[in-house]
Amino acid sequence: MRPPVLMLSQEVHPIPPTKGAAVEQWIDAVAHRMTRYQAYVVSVPHPTRPDREFDGDVHYHRIRIGRVYNRVFRKLTRLDPYSYIDRVTRYARSIRPAIVHIHNAPRFVLPVVQGVPGAKVILHMHNEKDDEIGARVAALVGCSDYICDWYRQRQVLADRFITLANGVDIAAYAPTRATEEQRRGLRAEFGVPADRFVVLYAGRISPEKGADCLVDALRVLEKDRFHLVLLGEWPSGDPATSKRVRFSLELAERLRDVPHTVLGSVLPNEMGRLYGLADLLVIPSRFEEPFSMVAIEAMAAHVPVMALRKGGMTEYMKDGENAFLVDGEASAEELGNAIRKASESQLQRDWQAKVAREMVAARFDWRHIANDVERLYDQVLA
């Protein structure tokens, strides 16, 4: 009998995710590829799938909190006497997991340690958070060495610190770039000019992701040669109370005199096809990017990648070998000049894209990541 493992994330996105939620993608992808452990996945309700489901050898338990409870206890009194994590721990006790693998939710650690006796607890962080952890964990996992070091420096109580990378389904991406005819057809479908050098931004529209820097970089480039495609979730709400909404409105204004196409968010399984729009993916993050899922996805799709030297990306990107790396504090003009230079050498782009895909296949295919996860579980239970 395989030891049961409970996998859960924050109370935000369903699993499988309906949009580009990297943490939830990680959980779902690894759960389906484990062979020696039985995965039980907990999340919020899914818009199209049942609350209880057994699919592909994975048990899904989706916790639905009623409208009356939400209104009375969460919005009015804020008491939350039977919270999401309370329901998680109750479910966990019913399956008696050997391991509880918590993703990006430090505040869940103490309730799980106290509420699920006998289970080893792993805290897996995909970015920096100052939240109180509150109890010792069997392992602190980071998506990169950068993230592991960040938590180690904060003296988190953990028996071990381990790096487990993000992954990609290599089989879901074409082994080579689309033919010219296919690329023209794809661009026509989404209203992207066929004869321009297309720069792709893929990610949420948020200040730390640096989309504004990329827009300003396009300003220094020839408008009849370059075209920007923005792919990702735009925030909605009240700009008076949301910094992200204000940022998105300002970004829309800055886009007025830049040739561009906005595609918004798409389902995760559509991303492989949409990378075919691009001549170059640019990651202009202003913060220390922990890993960047879109980078390895684009690499798997044989699309050349340019990024600022930030965070965990430098652990697998090598300038001039498998990526174009730009100084982490580069100005918009410097970034624009780097894009122009990259556009002038298709031979270099093609070579780097080939090397990058081979690297991703060797290091970041989900099968490799799942094997690494099961080896960690072995160590924790040994």
Q: Are 297 and 339 within one domain?
A: yes
Grade residue 201 by pLDDT with cuts at 50, 70 and 90. Answer: very high
Q: Are 140 and 238 within one domain?
A: no
Query: pLDDT at position 21, please?
Result: 87
Task: Say which residues have a Cβ less than 8 Å from residue 244's Cβ, sequence separation at least 6.
Answer: 205, 206, 207, 235
Q: Are 109 and 241 within one domain?
A: no
Query: pLDDT at position 1, please?
Result: 86
Q: Is the pLDDT of residue 310 over 90?
A: yes
Residue 168 near residue 190, CB atoms below 8 Å? no
Q: Are 188 and 310 within one domain?
A: yes
* Phi, then psi, of 291 in degrees rounded to 5: -150, -60
Q: Are 99 and 148 within one domain?
A: yes
Task: Specify whether the backbone of 262 is left (phi greater than 0), alpha (psi in -120 to 50) or beta.
Answer: beta
Q: What's the CA gap between 48 and 54, in Å, rounded?
A: 15
Tens of pLDDT, residues 253-298: 999 999 999 998 888 788 888 999 999 999 999 999 999 999 999 9
Neighbours of 321 (CB within 10 A): 12
Task: Using alpha carbons, select from 96, 113, 106 the residue that is nearest to residue 141.
Answer: 106
Q: Are 108 and 236 within one domain?
A: no
Q: Are 8 and 156 within one domain?
A: yes
Mean pLDDT, residues 296-313: 96
> What whole-number percentage of the chain has pLDDT above 90?
84
Mean pLDDT, residues 128-145: 95
Q: Are 345 and 254 within one domain?
A: yes
Tokens 């820097």 identify what position? 213
Number of structural domains in the chain: 2
Residue 229 near residue 277, CB atoms below 8 Å? yes
The tokens describing 247, both together, are 């940022």
Q: Are 101 and 222 within one domain?
A: no
CATH number for 279: 3.40.50.2000
Q: Is the pLDDT of residue 337 over 90?
A: yes
Q: Is the pLDDT of residue 176 over 80?
A: no
The tokens describing 259, both together, are 């040739």
Query: pLDDT at position 215, please?
Result: 97
Task: Using alpha carbons, select from 10, 20, 30, 24 the residue that is nearest to residue 294.
Answer: 20
| Domain span holding position 349 | 170-363
Query: pLDDT at position 266, please?
Result: 83
Q: What's the CA gap between 15 and 21, in Å, rounded?
A: 9
Q: Are 195 and 316 within one domain?
A: yes
Q: Are 215 and 264 within one domain?
A: yes
Q: Are 211 and 128 within one domain?
A: no
Would you call 318 exposed, middle or buried from its count of C-beta atoms within 10 A (0-12, 13-18, 19+)?
A: middle
Q: What's the CA gap between 253 and 334, in Å, rounded?
A: 22
